[in-house]
Amino acid sequence: MDAIPDSTGTPAAAPVARLVLASASPRRLALLQQVGIEPDALLPADIDETPRKSEPPRELARRLARTKLAAAEAVLRAEGGTVRTWLVAADTVVAVGRRVLPKAEVPDEAADCLRMLSGRQHRVYTAVCVLSPGGRRERIVESRVRFKRLSGRDIQAYVASGEWRGKAGGYAIQGLAGAFVVKLVGSHSAVVGLPLYETVSLLDGEGFPVRAAWGGPA
């Protein structure tokens, strides 16, 4: 697109696409960087993530992602920074049946999660929401993960690693807990925290230059 002349007759630069990630998660940042997308800013949203009574895990993931997006959007609007900005928010929920497992913060909580996941299948729901200059879109990805039967030594050693801290379901599939996974049906990146196919598709569909850093046409 040709640059538009400013009041002095000098062509003005075309507006630059700006991407903001509404998260402080190093995992989500690393996933975006993996596909060549470098956020211009991180804008984590401090929200209450407590499930509502009888709220299904899928709907919880959707609600939390939408709430994070809305909170970050409010900050951007207050700063006057929504023009030519794409905003990405996501949330991941781990569930056994309808039971939502917490984001473990203490060793006992992590150990309880691991005992619940041992030898059985669980589901991971990751919702991603994208706000663009043209509107907003969202996707929810459901993945099924089966763990091996964990021994007391497995649980004790993993808890000692500290890797579980702050992770939904008390584990990080991209780390040591990858050794527990017998089967995964769905999206590995979604279980980590951000479904790459869906996120890139949403951004691409909303006009963000997702291929700008790939060396070819954006």
Positions marked active-site: 91
The SS3 call for residue 156 is helix
- Rounded Cα distance between 20 and 86, Å, is 6
Element (H, E) at 112: helix 107-117
Torsion angle of C-alpha atoms 92, 96, 100, 103, degrees rounded to 10: -60
- Rounded Cα distance between 27 and 173, Å, is 11
- Rounded Cα distance between 83 and 40, Å, is 14
Handedness of CA 109, 162, 44, 66 (dihedral sign): negative
